[in-house]
């Protein structure tokens, strides 16, 4: 209920297993959908993230107020993208130095494919971000993952732009 | 000469009927029927009582038969007479207007709200009575009586058991703006009528699944801000939370024995299939793999569970035998197969399927497990959540129409299609009930 029951060591091991698993699968599922356009798509998404964080700046602790809180993923993928590293590391540092703070990671998927599979995919994304935070100093007890799959899209619409904005993990600090 | 003219007249009438059929205003829109649907005339039932009856039985029967795709229903305005008894039937009139069958009936009061309904089916070409029956009910369950009659006629004429008396559960979602949504779990007749809300929430509701006796629904609700699996008794509305572990609690599927649920839990790190003995509250883990395992569905004999797994790199459907946990892969065509549902005989697997081609859509497909042959049944995109009528004839599923989620259906042989346009909001995740008592 409260947190991931995974030790840091296991988390690390899993991360590597995951990355290995993902890289072996990426070509098959994504090649059809993710053309060359994806790179520019992700740039557009990042700029839109400030407004979609799900939390206003005033609710965020001051030390992390300027960090991204929404992190995006490729289709059927759960690999944390390089563009997310810096901000996630900063969140992890904050959690590490503020043991009383905690975050909820809400994993989401785009509407394509089936709902229960997408719930699983959203959780996998949430777990990937959770592991990233833990590897970088956050404690397992500070991180909770919940997946909404495709049930709570950030934007409506049935095109690749909408889908790209909906494949995300939203990081929310718990109210204090 | 006379015969030739008759034939021409008949052809004209059939054409007219087809044209009317396409235009009919119904909750269910038939978009494609069988090549040669059987023409049937369902005459308004007689009623001698003073106050008008709350429901038009003949209209409901006619609509049921028409939307099955197997029948074309004669328009009332084209009928030359409204016979209620055999003595009033002039077979030649019905034959000339192209009908093969004629259904007539009458309703009589049996005191208070009680009614008696007598109906008779005639073969217009042979000029014989096929069968008839008298049933009793009340003004409050006239729709049930109508669906019962439709089931009887359908079975008599097609050899297939009718599924008009069954129900569907589905989820609706309304975007209320500002990131707020309203989700509801609905229960309706198989024709979409008499819909009622059995659960409402600001948080998502997912994956309704019928118990085999049709008395309960299991579903996933996020009402506690985390996913939990609930079971709701339909007669009383009583509900209980069955599972809410850390992580996923999803995809409940009732076993044929009614004693167990298959479900997906990620409490041990990643999504795995479990079975839960409801009486003993005993949880048994079925799958062991670091990939995603979810969307369990039981084989009709209860000996195995089919599920979706990405253990091979992309979602495909596998089967696990419960006795020895042996796992075999079931689907091979396409790069995305999930959400499988078996027909009652266990032979056909309906699923969400995506072909391997670039930009391919998500469609509903059916695989013959005996021959391995896979047929794609739909041409739309974003099709999901297939559920099969208990008589195995029709797959109901969710798709998009414009920007709205709607329910649509296609027969397992692809010959009959209909849509169920939504009155408001997105409609999704249909679950067709078993035969009800």
**Residues 257-296 (B) with a CB less than 8 A from some CB of A:** 264, 266, 269-271, 290-292, 294-295
Q: What pTM, to 2 d.p., does this model score?
A: 0.84
Q: Give me the residue label for tokens 């009856």.
A: B53
Over residues B178-224, the pLDDT tens digits come to: 878 899 999 999 999 999 999 999 999 999 999 999 999 999 999 99
Weakly modelled stretches of chain B, pLDDT under 50 = 1-26
**Residues 371-410 (B) with a CB less than 8 A from some CB of A:** 382, 384-385, 400, 403
Interface contact flag, B245 A1, Cβ < 8 Å: yes
Residue B279 within any structural domain of the chain: yes
Interface contact flag, A28 B245, Cβ < 8 Å: no
Q: Mark whether B87 and B182 lie in a shared domain.
A: no
Over residues A55-85, the pLDDT tens digits come to: 444 468 888 999 999 999 998 899 999 999 9
Q: Would you tell me how many other CB atoms lie within 10 Å of the CB of residue B431?
A: 22
At the second CATH level, the architecture of A8-24+35-173 is 2-Layer Sandwich (3.30)
Q: Mark whether B282 and B301 lie in a shared domain.
A: yes
Residue B437 within any structural domain of the chain: no
Total domains in chain B come to 2
- Nearest to B389, CA basis, from B61, B165, B57, B155: B165
Q: Mark whether B122 and B200 lie in a shared domain.
A: no
- Nearest to B17, CA basis, from B76, B89, B93, B103: B76
Residue of B nearest to A153 (CA): B179
What's B270's domain CATH number?
Answer: 2.120.10.30
Nearest to B269 among A1, A6, A111 (CB): A6
Q: Which residues of A touch B271 (CB under 8 A)?
A: 120, 123
* Measured CA distances, B225 to A110, B124, B222, B241 (Å): 20, 61, 5, 14
Q: Which domain holds residue B386?
A: 167-432
pLDDT exceeds 60 at position A53: no
Measure in Å the smallest separation between the Cα of B6 and chain A Cα atoms. 53
Residue B200 within any structural domain of the chain: yes
Q: Mark whether B171 and B129 lie in a shared domain.
A: no
Residue of A nearest to B400 (CA): A158
What's B53's domain CATH number?
Answer: 3.40.50.10070
pLDDT tier for residue A8 given thresholds of 50, 70 and 90: very low
Q: Mark whether B378 and B230 lie in a shared domain.
A: yes
- Nearest to A33, CA basis, from B394, B355, B283, B344: B355
Contacts 24+ apart (CB under 8 A), A50-58: A52/A154, A52/A165, A52/A170, A53/A170, A54/A106, A54/A170, A54/A172, A54/B179, A55/A172, A55/A173
Cβ contact A15:A155 at 8 Å: no
Q: Mark whether B339 and B381 lie in a shared domain.
A: yes
Confidence check on the interface: ipTM exceeds 0.90, yes or no: no
Interface contact flag, B336 A1, Cβ < 8 Å: no
Measure in Å the smallest separation between the Cα of A159 and chain B Cα atoms. 11
Q: Mark whether B396 and B281 lie in a shared domain.
A: yes
Residue of A nearest to B314 (CA): A29
Q: Mark whether B202 and B91 lie in a shared domain.
A: no
Measure in Å the smallest separation between the Cα of A25 and chain B Cα atoms. 5
Of B106, B139, B158, the residue that ends a domain is B158
Q: Mark whether B283 and B354 lie in a shared domain.
A: yes
What pLDDT is attached to residue B401?
A: 87
Q: Mark whether B74 and B215 lie in a shared domain.
A: no
What pLDDT is attached to residue B20?
A: 35
Distance CA B354, CA B376 (A): 9
Q: Mark whether B213 and B154 lie in a shared domain.
A: no
Of B158, B193, B220, the residue that ends a domain is B158
What pLDDT is attached to residue B73?
A: 95
Q: Mark whether B73 and B184 lie in a shared domain.
A: no
Nearest to B338 among A117, A124, A151 (CB): A117
């Amino acid at each position: 209920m409260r947190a991931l029951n995974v030790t840091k060591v296991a988390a690390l091991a899993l991360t590597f297993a995951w990355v290995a698993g993902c890289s072996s699968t990426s070509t098959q599922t994504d090649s059809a959908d993710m053309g060359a356009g994806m790179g520019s798509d992700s740039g557009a998404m990042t700029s839109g993230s400030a407004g979609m964080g799900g939390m206003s700046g005033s609710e965020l602790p001051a030390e992390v107020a300027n960090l991204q809180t929404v992190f995006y993923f490729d289709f059927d993928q759960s690999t944390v993208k390089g563009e997310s590293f810096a901000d996630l590391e900063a969140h992890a540092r904050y959690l590490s130095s503020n043991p009383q703070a905690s975050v909820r990671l809400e994993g989401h998927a785009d509407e394509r494919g089936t709902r229960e599979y997408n719930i699983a995919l959203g959780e996998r994304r949430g777990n990937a971000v959770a592991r990233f935070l833990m590897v970088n100093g956050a404690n397992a007890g500070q991180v909770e993952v919940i997946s909404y799959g495709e049930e709570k899209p950030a934007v409506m619409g049935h095109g690749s732009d909408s889908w790209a904005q909906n494949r995300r993990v939203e990081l929310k600090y718990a109210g204090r | 000469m006379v015969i030739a003219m008759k034939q021409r007249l008949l052809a004209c009438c059939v054409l007219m009927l087809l044209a009317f059929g396409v235009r009919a205003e119904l909750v269910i829109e038939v978009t494609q029927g069988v090549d040669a649907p059987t023409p049937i005339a369902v005459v308004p039932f007689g009623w001698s009582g003073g106050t008008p009856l709350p429901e038009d039985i003949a209209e409901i029967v006619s609509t049921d038969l028409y939307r099955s795709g197997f029948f074309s229903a004669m328009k009332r305005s084209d009928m030359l007479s409204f016979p209620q008894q055999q003595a009033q039937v002039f077979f030649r009139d019905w034959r000339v207007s192209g009908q093969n069958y004629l259904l007539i009936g009458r309703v009589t009061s049996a005191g208070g709200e009680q009614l008696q309904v007598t109906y008779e089916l005639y073969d217009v070409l042979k000029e014989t009575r096929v069968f008839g029956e008298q049933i009793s009910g009340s003004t409050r369950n006239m729709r049930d009586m109508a669906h019962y009659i439709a089931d009887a006629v359908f079975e008599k004429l097609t050899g297939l058991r009718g599924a008009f008396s069954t129900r569907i559960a589905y989820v609706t979602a309304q975007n209320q703006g500002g990131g707020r949504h309203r989700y509801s779990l609905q229960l309706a007749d198989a024709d979409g009528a008499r819909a009622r809300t059995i659960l409402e929430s600001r948080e998502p509701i997912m994956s309704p699944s019928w118990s085999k006796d049709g008395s309960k629904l299991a579903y996933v609700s996020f009402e506690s801000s985390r996913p939990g699996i609930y079971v709701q008794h339909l007669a009383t509305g009583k509900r209980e939370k069955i599972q809410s572990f850390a992580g996923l609690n999803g995809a409940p599927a009732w076993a044929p024995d009614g004693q167990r649920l298959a479900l997906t839990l990620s409490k041990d790190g990643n999504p795995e299939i479990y079975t839960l003995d409801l009486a003993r509250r005993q949880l048994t883990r079925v799958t062991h793999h670091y990939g995603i395992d979810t969307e369990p569905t039981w084989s009709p004999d209860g000996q195995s569970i089919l599920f979706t797994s990405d253990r091979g790199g992309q979602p495909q459907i596998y089967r696990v035998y419960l006795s020895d946990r042996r796992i075999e892969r079931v689907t091979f065509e396409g790069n995305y197969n999930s959400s499988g549902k078996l027909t009652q005989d266990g032979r056909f697997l309906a699923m969400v399927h995506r072909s391997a081609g670039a930009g391919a859509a998500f469609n509903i497909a059916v695989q013959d497990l005996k021959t391995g042959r896979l047929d794609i049944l739909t041409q739309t995109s974003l099709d999901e959540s297939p559920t099969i009528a208990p008589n195995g004839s029709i797959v109901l599923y969710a798709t998009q129409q414009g920007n709205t989620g709607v329910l649509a259906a296609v027969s397992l042989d692809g010959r009959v299609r209909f849509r169920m346009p939504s009155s408001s909001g997105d409609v999704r995740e249909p679950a067709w009930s078993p035969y009800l008592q």
